[in-house]
Structures are given as C-alpha cells and as structure tokens.
C-alpha cells in the first residue's frame, strides 16, 4: 500500500491515495463530511477504497483540516450558531463547488492521472457538493456516490431547530434540493446512494426518495446500524477504520470498480 500524498491544489488541501496498480490513471474526487470524519485526511482513512485501480483524491472542505482557524472547529460552530443555512451550509457548499475546477486542473498537472471522466463521492455536506458537480458542472463523470448525504438542504437545516426562512434563504434551500433535479443527475452518471439505517430519519427518507426518483440509474446501499458519522470524535486526524465504515468502503469500492473503464 502506497503512502498518502498530501498538499494543496489551487489552495485546496488534499489527501491523495495512489491506485492499487501503478499504471492506473483514473481519478475519483471526494468531499468529506462536517461530522466525523471532518477533514480530508480523516475521510481518506475512513474510506480509503484501497483496492481500487484509481487515484482517490480527498479534497478539504472550507475551514476544515489544514484550513481550520486556530486549529479548531470553533469558527464553524460560530457560523452554524449564527445562521446555519446562510453562513454555514450554503457558503461551504458554494465555495467547495467554486474551488473545484481549479483544484481539478492542478491535480491533473501534478498527479499521473488522465483527462477522462472522473468519479465523485460526497459524505454528508460533501454530498451536496458532489450533487452540485453532477447537476451543474460540465465535467465528465463516470460514476458518483453519496454517503449519508445532504440531499435536501431543508432537512439538514431542520436539524438545527426552527429556522426563520426569508425570500433569499427559501431560494437557496430550494436550489439545494436535488430530488427535483433527479432527471438531470440521472443523465450525467449512475449514482450509488449509501444510507445508514440509523442516520437522521429525514436524511434517510431523502436518500430513499432520491433513489426512487433516479430509478435504474441508482443503487441504494443500506447499512444496518450505521448512524450519521463514519468515525469517532473528534474526527479531524486519521483514525483506524471502524467496522461500519469498512462496510461502506467495501460498497464504494465495488461500485466504482464496476464503473471504471474495462482497461483500468
């Protein structure tokens, strides 16, 4: 097993895991959760997909990992407390999406990866980023995957309590509801939807609804006993893979292997 490669790509921290076969050049990009594991390095440890003949590059979300303020998540907590949608959830997704094209170009310049379609994977809030890339970008994608994802942002906002929506925040929440965009997503790439059976009930329901809306373009993988996080707190540094994360990892590995080009 090769050691991870770490660095920044157009200012975005990343942890890259080399493929199981040295000659492989396929690329899978991931965005981590804001629950544990809440950094690119920790997400790479939780879901390494080590048996894949593809590069797995885990990108850091805003204010996470190497971009934490004063080495803690206090700044994120403060934003989420003041306004969970307009100061935290929406701007984090928006920034990650806006950073992606330059980060992808930088990764292709420095890693031995090809220029063909990529795979995308997002966990929790990172799932909303992956869905935005699927729904809104023109980057060719061979397959996507979600893990306990933020599929309907209203469901995530509800976890913070009663939220005082106004016209602007209503518009943002609607734009981050991906179930009405299932047809567009289905046209872009097949999607694996991993849902913990002990995840937040609303997020679990959203996963089932998206899978139904995508029809034969989606697979739903339910993980018994899996709650929302994939790792123990604090979830910032790499940690040994938990048994439930190992189940998710196996499902993701099989999914992406199935959709990689036959020569990969």
Supply the CATH number for residue 114's domain. 3.40.50.1820
Q: Phi, psi (5° rounding) for residue 20? A: -70, -20
d(Cα 92, Cα 45) in Å, to the nearest integer? 22
d(Cα 229, Cα 139) in Å, to the nearest integer? 29
What integer pLDDT is reported at residue 66 of this predicted model? 96
Please state the rounded mean pLDDT for residues 217-222.
98
What integer pLDDT is reported at residue 202 of this predicted model? 98
121 has pLDDT over 80: yes
pLDDT band at 262 (very low <50, low <70, confident <90, very high): low
* Element at 79 (helix H, strand E): helix 74-82
263 has pLDDT over 80: no
d(Cα 262, Cα 264) in Å, to the nearest integer? 6
d(Cα 8, Cα 211) in Å, to the nearest integer? 34
Q: Which domain holds residue 213?
A: 5-260
pLDDT band at 1 (very low <50, low <70, confident <90, very high): low
d(Cα 60, Cα 29) in Å, to the nearest integer? 11
Name the pTM for this structure.
0.97
Per the listing, tokens 């047809």 go with 183
Closest alpha carbon to 80 in 37, 40, 129, 125: 125
Convert the pLDDT of each residue in 237-261 to its tens digit. Answer: 999 999 999 999 999 999 999 999 7
d(Cα 185, Cα 167) in Å, to the nearest integer? 26
Q: What is the number of domains present in the chain?
A: 1
116, two tokens: 């063909």
What integer pLDDT is reported at residue 168 of this predicted model? 98
Q: Alpha helices of the chain — where are they, by DSSP H?
A: 40-46, 74-82, 90-110, 125-136, 153-158, 167-175, 182-188, 201-214, 243-259
Convert the pLDDT of each residue in 79-98 to its tens digit. Answer: 999 999 999 999 999 999 99
Tell me the average pLDDT of the chain.
96
Please state the rounded mean pLDDT for residues 128-137.
98
């Amino acid at each position: 097993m090769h050691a991870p490669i770490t660095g920044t790509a157009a200012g975005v921290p990343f942890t890259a895991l080399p493929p199981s076969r040295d000659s492989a050049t396929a690329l899978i990009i991931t965005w981590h959760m804001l629950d544990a594991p809440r950094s690119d390095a920790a997400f790479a440890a939780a879901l390494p997909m080590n048996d894949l003949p593809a590069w797995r590059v885990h990108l850091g979300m805003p204010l996470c990992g190497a971009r934490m303020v004063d080495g803690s998540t206090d700044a994120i907590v403060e934003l989420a407390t003041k306004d969970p949608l307009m100061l935290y959830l929406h701007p984090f997704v928006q920034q990650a999406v806006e950073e992606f094209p330059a980060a992808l170009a930088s990764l292709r310049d420095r890693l031995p990866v090809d220029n063909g379609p990529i795979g995308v994977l997002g966990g929790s809030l990172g799932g909303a980023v992956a869905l935005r890339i699927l729904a809104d970008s023109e980057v060719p994608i061979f397959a996507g995957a979600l893990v306990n994802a933020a599929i309907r942002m209203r469901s995530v906002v509800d976890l913070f309590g009663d939220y005082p929506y106004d016209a602007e925040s209503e518009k943002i929440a609607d734009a981050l509801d991906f179930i009405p965009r299932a047809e567009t997503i289905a046209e872009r790439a097949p999607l694996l939807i991993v849902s913990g059976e002990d995840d937040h009930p609303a997020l679990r329901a959203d996963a089932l609804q998206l899978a139904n809306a995508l029809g034969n373009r989606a697979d739903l993988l339910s993980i018994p006993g899996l709650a929302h996080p994939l790792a123990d707190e604090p979830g910032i540094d790499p940690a040994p893979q938990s048994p439930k994360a190992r189940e998710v990892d196996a499902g993701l590995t099989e999914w992406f292997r199935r959709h990689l080009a036959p020569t990969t």
